[in-house]
Structure 1
């Protein structure tokens, strides 16, 4: 199996040395998306209608804050369009990592019911090795593999197990969707029982779970704890997010936290009055600095941690 080279990211434009990523990353975003099951068009980032606004935001963030990398976790059944991702990377100068996997059960595609765990893993491995939808563009991460509730459903467990096997076969890391932050420990148990090391796993949406004990347990296992819905005030206040992040840092686990905004509908775009992809840099990180974070901690949280998660290897400090 052709694993990525050590210390190398697999982006939509090809392989990229992790050490060449000098600015911050967004660890969980969507640039193209279609989760519209109710017909109102809200949970959509259309590759035509919204592309200009997405590209404008990323370009501004590269110019203002040095944004260097976006981990784009739109996978099978979520409206993925890797050609649009390649265009965004090309036009913004920001590297983009594409994903493969299956989201949580309401968004599963028909093969999840039709195939067993090993067959599903083979589907993912083929995309990772051969490229997505005939594009030649290869995923650089598995995600966002999802579940909802405290325990994954049978179908969700099957998908998580398949993702773990594909990660082991290809050398990629795996990011999850834990609905409203719940079920992360159960996800991690399923993945590690399959043999996937915890340090190749990011458990998603933990900033929506006000339980520092769970965060500490995940981090102590070696897994990454994703505070990846920063700015989504309808789900959780940034006050709570900041408190939870500071608690994890103070417990000695700063090297296990990942940060992002999870823009998942066009109403979140700045052009439509939303907080945008830049809320992390423009609003949240200044509050983290005011609480005592120095430049090294900010670099750890926004650059070194996501690069280590993706590659499994440390990168040098800026």
Structure 2
């Protein structure tokens, strides 16, 4: 990276942050405040009552791992709460990127029905320009589809996302339901003129298809292994095998890792895997499989920051940090 050039900046909920300040790992696909509840059971919710536990988890990870940044992919129709993201970021000391866009069709708000691509693009550009409750989005996502090809409304939303990304320079992160439909998403987005390296195809660790992952990565897209720890969807053993296959194929610079915490029972404080499962469980297994410090840094910091900014932040500059202390669950300290 040219030291004479101004440092790239990440748009966070509390303002722009130079990439040079983000020296620790990044979680590129998480949820800190959302409401996907359509049944009234309240399971798929991270509400105000959960915010202190969310902030405490992130603060613990900042101390334990140096966690620098969380990309929060709750968008329109998902119970987005920009003010809550600001409070969580300030309470935890971890930078947070907010999102705009629309999820997949079952969660589309009425505004999507009948809207043209042009109208949807204008909505995104207004949010990116003017902010949402004072918070400026730093990414478009998680823009969704389900099945092998997007539905009509999903295609319009994806096309609008691509056009807004072209106009603003923001990247697009997708929701490929259960890992399906990534090639169709990439084809649709790139037909609008968006470069593949500004696109992350979501939930690919739920698709046991190394050939598809290689195809997407070879075209230049990021491959998101972003449901790490969700064993009821896919075992981490399979995730590790899929990741190693992608790495062995020479696509380390296109892999992203995250946990996609999207229900309150996933929180560490409620006995779930928590936002730290990637660091406490999955990465040790990856290291045991032969991954060194430079590769871990590439996967957990350089790749997500390059997606956000379009610029490679360069190798990690070591900073002395205190020896990390384990953080027990609340019930362990009673």
TM interval, short-chain normalised: over 0.9
- Displacement of 1:42 after TM fit? 0.3
Gaps of 5+ in 2: 1-5, 317-334
TM-score, reference length from structure 2 = 0.92
Q: Which has more radius of gyration?
A: 2
Contact 2:205 / 2:224 at 8 angstroms: preserved in 1?
Answer: yes
Confirm or deny that 1:261 pairs with 2:255. Answer: no
Question: C-alpha separation between the residues in 2 aligned to 1:81 and 1:166?
Answer: 21
Instruction: Tell me which stretches of 4 or more aligned residues in structure 1 moved more than 3 Å.
Output: none
- Displacement of 1:211 after TM fit? 0.1
Q: What is the aligned partner in structure 1 of residue 119 from structure 2? A: 119
Question: C-alpha separation between the residues in 2 aligned to 1:38 and 1:169?
Answer: 38
- Displacement of 1:38 after TM fit? 1.1
Contact 1:152 / 1:183 at 8 angstroms: preserved in 2?
Answer: yes
Q: What is the aligned partner in structure 2 of residue 163 from structure 1? A: 161
Contact 1:33 / 1:74 at 8 angstroms: preserved in 2?
Answer: yes
- Displacement of 1:25 after TM fit? 0.4
TM-score, reference length from structure 1 = 0.97
What is the root-mean-square deviation in Å for CA atoms of aligned residues? 0.8
Question: C-alpha separation between the residues in 2 aligned to 1:316 and 1:308?
Answer: 9
Confirm or deny that 1:174 pairs with 2:175. Answer: no
Question: C-alpha separation between the residues in 1 aligned to 2:296 and 2:253?
Answer: 11
Question: C-alpha separation between the residues in 2 aligned to 1:122 and 1:198?
Answer: 22
- Displacement of 1:8 after TM fit? 1.3
Q: What is the aligned partner in structure 1 of residue 325 from structure 2? A: none
- Displacement of 1:6 after TM fit? 6.6
Number of matched residues? Answer: 311
Confirm or deny that 1:221 pairs with 2:219. Answer: yes
Confirm or deny that 1:109 pairs with 2:109. Answer: yes
Question: C-alpha separation between the residues in 2 aligned to 1:158 and 1:37?
Answer: 23
Contact 2:144 / 2:177 at 8 angstroms: preserved in 1?
Answer: yes
Question: C-alpha separation between the residues in 2 aligned to 1:227 and 1:186?
Answer: 18
Contact 2:7 / 2:20 at 8 angstroms: preserved in 1?
Answer: no
Q: What is the aligned partner in structure 1 of residue 197 from structure 2? A: 199
Question: C-alpha separation between the residues in 2 aligned to 1:45 and 1:129?
Answer: 27
Superposed, 1:209-248 pairs within 5 Å as: 209-248=207-246
Contact 1:24 / 1:66 at 8 angstroms: preserved in 2?
Answer: yes
Confirm or deny that 1:52 pairs with 2:78. Answer: no
Q: What is the aligned partner in structure 2 of residue 29 from structure 1? A: 30
Question: C-alpha separation between the residues in 1 aligned to 2:254 and 2:20?
Answer: 19
Question: C-alpha separation between the residues in 1 aligned to 2:76 and 2:67?
Answer: 26
Question: C-alpha separation between the residues in 1 aligned to 2:10 and 2:81?
Answer: 19
Q: What is the aligned partner in structure 2 of residue 208 from structure 1? A: 206
